[in-house]
Amino acid sequence: MPMYKANSPEAKAALEALEARRGESLEKALRVADEMIAGVRKGGDGFVAEQIARFDKVSIAPGAIRIAPRDVTIDGDLAEAIDTAIARVESFHREQLPQPYVWNNGTSSVVHRVRPLQRVGIYAPGGRAVYISTLIMCAVPARIAGVTDLVVATTPAAADRDELHYVCRKLGIREIYRAGGAVGIAALALGTESLARVDKIVGPGNQYVTAAKMRLIGQIGIDMTAGPTELIVIADDDADASLVAADLVAQAEHGPDSAVICLTTSAAIGRQMPERVITMLVESIDEAVAIADRLAPEHLSIHAKYPEAIAQRVENCAAIYCGPSSPGAAGDYIIGPNHVLPTAGSARFFSPLGVYDFVKRSNVVSLSAEDLAEIGPKAELLAVFEGLPNHARSIAARREQAPGAEPEKELSPKGEQS
């Protein structure tokens, strides 16, 4: 792919094409998701077993789709790598647990309660490989939040791997549901004969998985919607072209729809980028920052003299890697931060998966009679203004029954509720 000046019509067209691709409709995937959701609702495990036979060419009895993790022994080096990844991810996420608080104004109090979700489903994509790293990135923050009831859904092939069982055992995941794609998502959300429905589903997947999550939001919680993976590199004259290229080639490895973009002030570096990379020559780091902010990429890798200063100026990106010893690919596995990240420009509003995604909050109100006497009439005024007189009456009724309260009829618009 040629190198463009960032302000050229060709560069503009390339950026617009990229943005247009992101906005592409999931219409077909949504139709498939609807079919899977309706099927699971009606046919439960039996329907899921049919889909497994159809897509995965594996025959599993409906009652055997859900299995418990086996006690396994895996390669020692791999086990050590997994253990290190879990320990570092845990260490990084520990500070993310949202805190409850009590709001108190002297007489009244409101408890802002933070509790773990009860049951969470993790989707671990299982294509050619088994993504145990995704399982770690999802399960560790869930455990820190206090979620005890965790289930993973993945393809039968991935569910067969000892390494997956090893991670499940390590992280207290007691159920594996051997169904991938939209049907796996539907089973997690709706429940089947063998699988209790979950409260929230997290983890990335292909467009069918994303479509099913979009369809089911409200019946369950979801973490975010996911598109193909993305990396922008910002490189100044100080950058090492071979390292920049290595980052971009790694990202491209996820598939032909991964977006890999190099924004550089150096034509010499630009010329050394592989064919597959969209390379743009920028006049300044400011111009590169503006393009990165507009695209809001999943990953940003900064190869420059003062990388942290550039990172500071980028608003829209959830995972930023600074300097020569911070390879993004290590962040996918072991550094500590989460690799479940917003794609397709959604870093404008989504965040990396974190402990905060695994809690629910409640406000528990204990209002005092004194406080009610003071704010009640004002609330009544607002209720009447909004056309809800019975709301006002319900407040007035409380005021009038409060110990020691004098009826303040003039503030109660229509008298009390009998």
Catalytic positions, written as ranges: 298-299
CA distances 219 to 42, 74, 190, 200, 223, Å, are 16, 38, 8, 9, 13
Interface with a copy of itself includes 315 (CB under 8 A)? Answer: yes
Q: Whole-number minimum distance, CB 42 to a copy of itself, in Å?
A: 13
Is the alpha carbon torsion for 140, 142, 148, 154 positive or negative? negative
Interface with a copy of itself includes 203 (CB under 8 A)? Answer: no
d(CA 147, CA 176): 16
d(CA 230, CA 345): 10
d(CA 357, CA 83): 23
Q: Whole-number minimum distance, CB 323 to a copy of itself, in Å?
A: 6
Is the alpha carbon torsion for 113, 114, 115, 121 positive or negative? positive
CB 122 within 8 A of CB 151: yes
Nearer to a copy of itself (CB atom), residue 88 or residue 174 = 88
CA angle 318, 173, 115 (to 5 degrees): 65
| Stretch in the footprint of a copy of itself (CB under 8 A) among 3-11, 57-65, 113-121, 140-148 | 113-121
Interface with a copy of itself includes 249 (CB under 8 A)? Answer: yes
Residue from the set 91, 257, 294, 415 that interacts with a copy of itself by CB under 8 A: 91
- Please choose, from the candidates 199, 178, 160, the residue with its C-alpha nearest in 3D space to the C-alpha of residue 48: 178
Nearer to a copy of itself (CB atom), residue 11 or residue 37 = 37
d(CA 152, CA 159): 9
Kind plus residue range of the DSSP H or E element containing 133: helix 132-145
Interface with a copy of itself includes 98 (CB under 8 A)? Answer: yes
Nearer to a copy of itself (CB atom), residue 266 or residue 368 = 368
Q: Whole-number minimum distance, CB 155 to a copy of itself, in Å?
A: 14
Residues paired with residue 360 on neighbouring β-strands, in sequence order: 115
Interface with a copy of itself includes 332 (CB under 8 A)? Answer: yes
CB 305 within 8 A of CB 314: no
Interface with a copy of itself includes 97 (CB under 8 A)? Answer: no
Nearer to a copy of itself (CB atom), residue 4 or residue 337 = 337
Interface with a copy of itself includes 309 (CB under 8 A)? Answer: no
Q: Whole-number minimum distance, CB 335 to a copy of itself, in Å?
A: 6
CA distances 138 to 25, 30, 50, 203, 357, Å, are 27, 25, 28, 7, 10
Nearer to a copy of itself (CB atom), residue 60 or residue 149 = 149
Residue 285 neighbours by CB under 8 Å, 6+ apart: 234, 236, 265, 304, 310
Nearer to a copy of itself (CB atom), residue 67 or residue 252 = 252
> Both tokens of residue 199?
């409260």
Q: Whole-number minimum distance, CB 10 to a copy of itself, in Å?
A: 25
Interface with a copy of itself includes 247 (CB under 8 A)? Answer: yes
Interface with a copy of itself includes 352 (CB under 8 A)? Answer: yes
Nearer to a copy of itself (CB atom), residue 57 or residue 128 = 128
3-state helix, strand, coil in the chain (%, to 5): 45, 15, 35
Q: Whole-number minimum distance, CB 188 to a copy of itself, in Å?
A: 12
CA angle 164, 169, 174 (to 5 degrees): 95
Q: Which of residues 361-400 bind a copy of itself (CB under 8 A)?
A: 361-369, 371-372, 375-376, 378-379, 381-383, 385-395, 397-398
List, as one string, the DSSP characters of 61-82.
-GGGSEEPPP-----HHHHHHH
Interface with a copy of itself includes 323 (CB under 8 A)? Answer: yes
Interface with a copy of itself includes 192 (CB under 8 A)? Answer: no
Q: Whole-number minimum distance, CB 233 to a copy of itself, in Å?
A: 11
Total number of residues binding a copy of itself (CB under 8 A)? 128
Nearer to a copy of itself (CB atom), residue 5 or residue 161 = 161
| Stretch in the footprint of a copy of itself (CB under 8 A) among 56-64, 175-183, 238-246, 281-289 | 238-246
Residue from the set 3, 117, 164, 304 that interacts with a copy of itself by CB under 8 A: 117
Residue from the set 72, 110, 157, 196 that interacts with a copy of itself by CB under 8 A: 110
> Both tokens of residue 281?
């020559």
d(CA 73, CA 87): 19
Q: Which of residues 136-175 bind a copy of itself (CB under 8 A)?
A: 163
Q: Which of residues 60-79 bind a copy of itself (CB under 8 A)?
A: 77-78
